[in-house]
Chains A and B, each alone.
Chain A
């Protein structure tokens, strides 16, 4: 039986329209010389991808792409052009031949391979029929949470996620090494931009920041039911802190959360994650095997009715394990994002000062 859609349905129509939009935007990025325009278009590219990801039934990925691509990446890119230059030089057309040929060769290989792939939406393809399907079947029994993406991310493939958290930590270390040191004399609030008579942004920020932080916690704890989790929540939490810095000045924010503290929190997040793994190991399981999170003596204390019947067993170890490692992810991601912002932000102020001197 063919598993392909029989007709041209709405999903496919949306899919094609959004992909064509992405093609147009990517072409525009390639053409423009203005870096600001390129960054804005990259941001648009991320947003369109996020919409496309929702159409493709990947709300978790869409959420992350929107938060990261349109949010964090855009902020970092804008910070970088503030410190460098706004326009790219147009390369001589002769210098475009070799890159174009290389791209055509790689693209040709991709298309050659794509022709052999199963069609879009094929439920019987090896990719969808084997391990992917096994997760859908096993999650209720093994983990007992509705969001299978979260279950796979933080339990079945938790080692990947530990690596991912480590990558973020490494990026924080890298940016801090590059931009985090050196003179930072003038970290005054941007009073020239937002003076005392600009009360509205300050009041609005004071109201908004707690709300954004609250939303971050909602996203954090909603992850096992719907789209969300430590990574997205961490970025949103960092957004609250960045908003504080933008309105009240970097100096105020750095006084509240010094760069060293931010770096330490990032490393504590990874430690928490790895520590959970080690605890499971010391209780007799494998690394990150949350079923061994509680030592047997504690497990015996849990009243039988809390564990549920054998059909719908309640997986306390899995739930707490996932909650704790997601907390580690939240810590590392938010602290690293703040570290990165401090790096670029501190330089921005410095560069602006040097520019003013000249």
Chain B
């Protein structure tokens, strides 16, 4: 298989990450920034999952050894390949990155929720979610005395 095809995933995922990062950096709108951040994080997950794919593999849910399903799966592949890389006669994809990305997705949604909650409060306090307008108002704020307790 050509080098380009075998590395297409990584290059595509790199572009996806940069698309997310670009939306994040270029947009002044706080909500849009969060969308960019979410795309960036999701794409990082895709990178890990690409690492975990094994040619001819199946999802890491154990198939009963010797069952018809196991024989079915093995019949599609070269027996020498199955013998070398299979576990009990079945080739599986790597479960570890899947576990890591499950965790990362959850962290991502937690970040999104907190970020948007802050954005909503920004809107309530400043009347805007555009970074430029907020900057101007903040500069005015800097000249005001602090609140009296």
**Touch test A–B (CB under 8 Å):** yes
Identify the A interface with B (CB < 8 A): 1, 3-8, 12, 15-16, 19-20, 22-23, 26-27, 29-30, 35, 38-39, 42, 45-46, 49, 52-53, 56-61, 64-65, 68-69, 72-73, 76-77, 79-81, 83-85, 88-89, 91, 95-96, 98-100, 102-104, 106-107, 110-111, 114-115, 117, 119-125, 127-128, 131-133, 135-137, 139-140, 146-149, 152-153, 157, 160-161, 163-164, 167-168, 170-171, 174-175, 178-179, 225-227, 231, 340, 343-344, 347
Q: Check A171–B110 contact: CB distance below 8 A.
A: yes
Is B49's beta carbon under 8 Å from chain A?
Answer: yes
Bound together, the chains give a CA A96 to CA B58 distance in angstroms of 43
Which residues in B have their C-beta under 8 angstroms from that of A115? 7
**Alpha-carbon distance A22/B49, docked complex (angstroms):** 15
When each residue 62-102 of chain B gets 1 if its CB lies under 8 Å from chain A and 0 otherwise, what string results?
10000000000000000011001101000111111111111
Chain B residues in 8 Å Cβ range of A85? 29, 123, 128-129
Residues of A within 8 A of B27 (CB): 88, 91
- Bound Cα distance from A35 to B116, whole angstroms: 13
- Give every chain A residue within 8 A of B97 (Cβ-Cβ): 127, 132
Interface centre among B8, B26, B52 (most CB of A within 10 A): B26
Residues of A within 8 A of B58 (CB): 57
Q: Are B121 and A178 in contact (CB under 8 A)?
A: yes
B46 near A52 with CB under 8 A, answer yes
The 6 A-B pairs at the shortest CB distance, nearest first, are namely: A119-B6, A121-B55, A99-B25, A132-B94, A171-B110, A114-B10
- Tell whether B137 is near chain A: CB-to-CB under 8 Å: no
In whole angstroms, what is the CA distance A261 to B55 when docked? 48
Given the interface pairs A61-B105, A103-B25, the reply to whether A175 lies near B113 with Cβ below 8 Å is: yes
A interface SS class: helix
Residues of A within 8 A of B85 (CB): 3, 123-124
Q: CB-CB < 8 A to A102: which residues of B?
A: 21, 25
Knowing A1-B84, A56-B49, A133-B87, the reply to whether A77 touches B25 (Cβ < 8 A) is no
CA distance A53 to B60 in the complex (A): 13
Q: How far is the CB of B13 from chain A (nearest CB, A)?
A: 8
State how many residues of chain B have any CB contact under 8 Å with chain A. Answer: 92
- Per the 8 Å Cβ criterion, residues 1-50 of B in contact with A are 1, 3, 5-23, 25-32, 34-36, 38-39, 42-43, 45-46, 49-50
> Which among B7, B58, B119 has the greatest number of chain A C-beta atoms within 10 A?
B7
Given contacts A61-B101, A127-B97, A344-B120, contact A19 B12 (CB under 8 A): yes
Give chain A residues whose Cβ lies under 8 Å from the Cβ of B42: 45-46, 49, 65, 69
| Shortest distance between the CB of A357 and any CB in chain B (Å) | 15
B55 contacts A122, C-beta separation under 8 Å:
yes
Query: What is the bound-complex CA distance between A85 and B126, given in angstroms?
Result: 13
Cβ contact of B117, chosen from A1, A100, A178, cutoff 8 A: A178
Q: List 6 A-B contacts (CB under 8 A).
A: A57-B54, A68-B108, A148-B60, A149-B95, A153-B103, A231-B106
Known A56-B50, A127-B94: A4·B109 in contact at CB below 8 Å: no
Q: How far is the CA of A353 from the CA of B113 in the complex (A)?
A: 23
In the bound assembly, the distance between CA atoms of A73 and B106 in angstroms comes to: 11
In the bound assembly, the distance between CA atoms of A84 and B35 in angstroms comes to 14
A residues less than 8 Å from B142 (CB atoms): none
Decide if B80 touches A110 in the complex (CB within 8 Å). Answer: no
* A175 contact set on B, CB distance < 8 A: 113-114, 117
Pick the contact of B106: A124, A140, A168 (CB < 8 A): A168
Q: Please report B residues at the A interface, Cβ cutoff 8 Å.
A: 1, 3, 5-23, 25-32, 34-36, 38-39, 42-43, 45-46, 49-62, 80-81, 84-85, 87, 91-103, 105-114, 116-121, 123-124, 128-130, 132
Given A6-B1, A26-B39: A164 and B94 interface contact (C-beta under 8 Å): no
A146 to B60, CA, bound (A): 8
Contact yes or no, B54 A121, CB < 8 A: yes
A85 to B100, CA, bound (A): 35
**Which residues on the A side are within 8 Å of B29 (C-beta)?**
35, 85, 88-89
Flag if A147 contacts B106 (CB, 8 Å): no
Smallest Cβ-Cβ distance to B128: which chain A residue: A85
Q: Is the CB of A26 within 8 A of B52?
A: no
> Is there an interface contact between A84 and B60, defined as CB atoms closer than 8 Å?
no
A57 near B53 (CB under 8 angstroms)?
yes
Q: Are A128 and B94 in contact (CB under 8 A)?
A: yes
Pick the contact of A77 from B28, B80, B100, B116 — CB < 8 Å?
Answer: B116
Assess whether B26 is in contact with A91, with CB atoms less than 8 Å apart: yes
Q: Smallest CB–CB gap between B56 and chain A, Å? A: 7
